[in-house]
Structure 1
Amino acid sequence: MRFHRPLFSFLLCLLLPLQAFADPAFYRINKGNEQHWLLGSIHAGKASLYPLPDPVERAWQQSHALVMEVDMTNLTQEQWQEMGAITRLVDGKTLKDHVPPDLYRRTLIAAGQYGLNEAILAPLRPWFAAITLTQAALERTGYSGEYGVDQHFAKRASEGGKPIVGLETLLEQLGYLASVGDNQTLMLSSTLDELPELKSGFDKVMTAWQNGDQATLISLLREEMAPPKLQSWLEQTLLAERNHNWVAKWPSLPNESFIVVGALHLYGDQGLLALLEQQGWRITALTEPSPQAVR
């Protein structure tokens, strides 16, 4: 079964390092004496992204810490090794041994089209092979994680001595992806189906993001993307569970933090905006959304 909306578009909203061309949805969040700024991002971009809109730059100058999904600036060698244990096969077999022959042939054909070879993909778990292919294909569209806003602000924070806080560790984030379990072959197959449409799909995602069009971004999740079991994993594990875990950490964040997370984490009944409002935080939009944008 093919996805009605590309799985890779959904994952890009969550996981890669943001891009935009106009004013994305940007919020001030305050309760009592505590105040933060929250930017929902799509984590890939172009050099034309910069400079960012004035409300974003002003908030950055006022902020005292950068909060990201994962702090990638201080990874230890041990953490990189642990990452390998999650993303790579450790049973002495290769990707060829873990997927059907036809799917493996399709994977190698796609790899060649996007500048990868069999040696790169062979040791990877199927779910990570799907993400690796997506990232390689994205580089061919003109979008790149190199220009991600996360990386942009992480660099500025490091150069300016501003603390960086991760809402989760890299291993925790990879663990969520690895939890796809028995559905990872389906994830790889569906990714291969959709790679030829990556640019057009991501262009649509980008337009919605740049216009602050929450309704369209939400539709990426709510339209049928996968068979029910995988759909449930996407909604409950990659979004809702992580959102609840992040909100539980909110009281410990440094005051006046500048927070950047994937855009789809913000919206819906289990989104950060709704969960924070339930806990008494006041949400104030600092940019003008699209007329179609509703929460």
Structure 2
Amino acid sequence: MKSSLWHGLQQWVTRLFPASYRWPALDIRLGDRRLHLTGSIHMGTRDMQPLPAGLLRQLQKADALVVEADITQGESPFTGVETAPPLATRLEPAALQQLTALCETLSLSLSLFDHLPFWQIALMLQAQQAQRLGLRPQYGVDYQLLQAAKSAGKRIIELEGPDTQIALLKSLPQDGLALLLDTLTHWHTNARLLQTMISWWLDAPPARQPVRLPGTFSSELNDTLMRNRNQHWRDLLQALPPGRYVVAVGALHLYGDDNLPALLKQ
């Protein structure tokens, strides 16, 4: 009886005070599946390399690494993307003026984007912003984890894969116009959000939930790019075979409304 009460107390304490790490992560147990759920930044700064020793020990103990997509594969995800009509025929004058001004600020030629779908323009602008903040793909958390997992002979499990991610972007209404407009509208907010996520890795992750984050997506986009994907990932993670897993997904999926940890604990 005492043992049962003590076990119950331990579980209660664990729920109230989950294991804390100096990187954004938490441990979740789903029956016979143990997940070390880590919030990744897809592009990182030089001082984010190497990864914390504690995270690499988690990977050594794991049966597999779970990522959104294996980004170490060589082919560009934009290969085969169809060209679009000129921007002047697709964008409202105010949005075109806003994009032109941003290109001038970034010292980019507007012609670079003239025949690209809106979603691709948005991603390229976001990549430019990250680079100007000192972030590089080779220092990204999931990239480093993938390299370490492959060196250790660990199994790699993709939640989506690059093809699925591109298909999702191609499925956005109006070629992803809302994603481009949100990128332009929330340009400075997104920069602050990137800096916040960097601080989660270099300084300390947020200690308390819920974390209120500035909105950089419209409601419809948030459903498509965050909430619906979190729900799909929850189902995939719950269906994993018994074992230990390090799971690396974008850090924003760990926080905010309908975040992945909350869905897994339901």
- TM-score of the aligned structures, taking structure 2 as reference length: 0.76
Q: Does 1:246 align with 2:233?
A: yes
Cα deviation, 1:213-239, whole Å, max 9, x if unaligned, reads 16588422xx5556xxx22431x2222
Residue of structure 2 in register with 1:260 after alignment: 248
Deviation at 1:242, TM superposition (A): 0.8
CA distance in 2 between counterparts of 1:262 and 1:219 reads 16
CA distance in 2 between counterparts of 1:45 and 1:146 reads 7
Contact 1:208 1:216 in 2 (8 A): no
- Identity across the alignment (%): 27
Larger Rg: 2
Change over 3 Å in CA distance of 1:58–1:46 after alignment to 2? same
Cα deviation, 1:57-100, whole Å, max 9, x if unaligned, reads 210121232211112234768x7645x24xx43xxx13332112
Cα deviation, 1:22-51, whole Å, max 9, x if unaligned, reads 912322333443323211123322111133
Secondary structure at the residue paired with 1:252? coil
Contact 1:106 1:192 in 2 (8 A): yes
Residue of structure 2 in register with 1:97 after alignment: 89
Q: Does 1:154 align with 2:146?
A: yes
Contact 1:66 1:162 in 2 (8 A): yes
Unaligned runs of 5+ in 1: 1-21, 279-295
Matches within 5 A, 1:43-82: 43-74=42-73, 81=79
Change over 3 Å in CA distance of 1:267–1:186 after alignment to 2? closer
CA distance in 2 between counterparts of 1:95 and 1:254 reads 50
Number of residue pairs matched by the alignment: 244
What amino acid does structure 1 have at the position aligned with 2:233?
W
Unaligned runs of 5+ in 2: 1-20
Residue of structure 2 in register with 1:143 after alignment: 135
What amino acid does structure 1 have at the position aligned with 2:127?
Q
Change over 3 Å in CA distance of 1:67–1:233 after alignment to 2? same
Change over 3 Å in CA distance of 1:216–1:48 after alignment to 2? farther
Matches within 5 A, 1:160-239: 160-182=152-174, 184-195=176-187, 199-208=191-200, 210-213=203-206, 218-220=211-213, 223=214, 225=216, 230-234=218-222, 236-239=223-226
Secondary structure at the residue paired with 2:262? helix
CA distance in 2 between counterparts of 1:111 and 1:253 reads 48
Deviation at 1:194, TM superposition (A): 4.0
CA distance in 2 between counterparts of 1:269 and 1:224 reads 11
